[in-house]
């Protein structure tokens, strides 16, 4: 059992060390939460598109591969392999869409959300460390989605503007799913309500 827990603990330790490096002088952590390994049933809506896409891509690639294989040695040669190879990127996209709802299971122990007295951070550890940060003065309206056990997501508007067509556009920073989403919102309300210290 210890061997199963060890990789998660090692990743979490790496993220904690990364957070220590990231924090500025006298910057204080008000709240932190780990990404939960929780599936969102709404994410499976992509299957309405992903299943037919993947089925068609596999059928195309299989039929093209069968046709090329049946030509034998007297076929058109290496150029004929372009048809089955053409289908492979479409199969890869289909597999990615089918796997997308399961990403939170992979992110368990790899994503840490932090609210300090100056900003909101997301530290994600995949092949490399990725850090996203939003200063307190850019935090706008928040939308919280919470389940009965207190876990949920928090969407923060961090930039509201207009695109090149003049349409209103809102950039979101999403926290979650985390265990104590109300704690995250309370910490964010504290830093958003006061001016930044110099």
Report the alpha-carbon distance of residue 30 to residue 141 in Å, rounded: 19
Domain range for residue 88? 43-102
Count the alpha carbons within 13 Å of 12 in the hemisphere toward its beta carbon. 12
Report the alpha-carbon distance of residue 47 to residue 50 in Å, rounded: 5
198 within a domain of the structure (yes/no):
no
Give 133's strand partners.
Answer: 121
Give 135's strand partners.
Answer: 119
Report the alpha-carbon distance of residue 7 to residue 2 in Å, rounded: 9
* Residues in contact with 44: Cβ distance below 8 Å, sequence separation at least 6, in sequence order: 101
Together in a domain, 113 and 188: yes
Contact present, 141 and 135 (Cβ < 8 Å): no
197 within a domain of the structure (yes/no):
no
Together in a domain, 63 and 32: no
- In this structure, how many other beta carbons lie within 10 angstroms of the beta carbon of residue 12? 15
Together in a domain, 150 and 169: yes
Q: For position 163, what pLDDT does the model report?
A: 64
Report the alpha-carbon distance of residue 54 to residue 73 in Å, rounded: 31
Together in a domain, 174 and 128: yes
Helix runs in the chain, H state only: 2-22, 47-71, 82-99, 103-107, 181-192
Tell me the chain's radius of gyration from C-alpha atoms: 23
Report the alpha-carbon distance of residue 69 to residue 88 in Å, rounded: 16
Say which residue the tokens 């910490």 belong to: 187
Together in a domain, 127 and 166: yes
The per-residue pLDDT string of the chain (198 residues; one tens digit each, 9 = 90 and over) reads: 333 333 456 778 888 888 999 898 899 999 998 888 777 677 788 888 889 999 999 998 888 888 877 776 666 667 777 878 888 999 999 988 888 887 777 666 688 999 999 999 999 887 888 898 989 888 888 889 888 888 888 888 887 666 666 676 778 888 878 888 999 999 998 887 665 554
Number of separate domains in the chain: 2
Report the alpha-carbon distance of residue 33 to residue 131 in Å, rounded: 15
Together in a domain, 19 and 69: no
Determine what percent of the chain falls in helix, strand and coil, rounding each to the nearest 5.
50, 25, 20
Question: Which tokens sit at 84?
Answer: 């089955």
Q: For position 1, what pLDDT does the model report?
A: 31
Question: Which tokens sit at 191?
Answer: 């830093």
């Amino acid at each position: 059992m210890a061997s199963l827990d060890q990789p998660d603990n090692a990743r979490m330790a790496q993220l904690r060390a990364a957070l220590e490096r990231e924090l500025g002088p006298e910057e204080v952590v008000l709240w932190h939460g780990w990404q939960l390994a929780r599936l969102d049933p709404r994410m499976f809506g992509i299957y309405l598109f992903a299943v037919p896409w993947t089925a068609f891509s596999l059928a195309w690639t299989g039929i093209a591969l069968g046709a090329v294989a049946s030509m034998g040695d007297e076929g058109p040669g290496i150029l004929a392999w372009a048809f089955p190879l053409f289908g492979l990127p479409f199969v890869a996209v289909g597999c990615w869409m089918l796997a997308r709802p399961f990403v939170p299971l992979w992110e368990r122990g790899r994503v840490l959300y932090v609210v300090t007295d100056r900003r909101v951070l997301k530290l994600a550890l995949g092949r490399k460390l990725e850090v996203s940060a939003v200063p307190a003065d850019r935090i706008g309206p928040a939308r919280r989605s919470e389940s009965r056990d207190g876990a949920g997501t928090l969407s923060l508007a961090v930039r509201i503007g207009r695109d090149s067509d003049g349409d209103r556009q809102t950039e979101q920073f999403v926290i979650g799913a985390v265990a104590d989403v109300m704690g995250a919102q309370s910490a964010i309300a504290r830093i958003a309500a006061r001016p930044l210290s110099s």
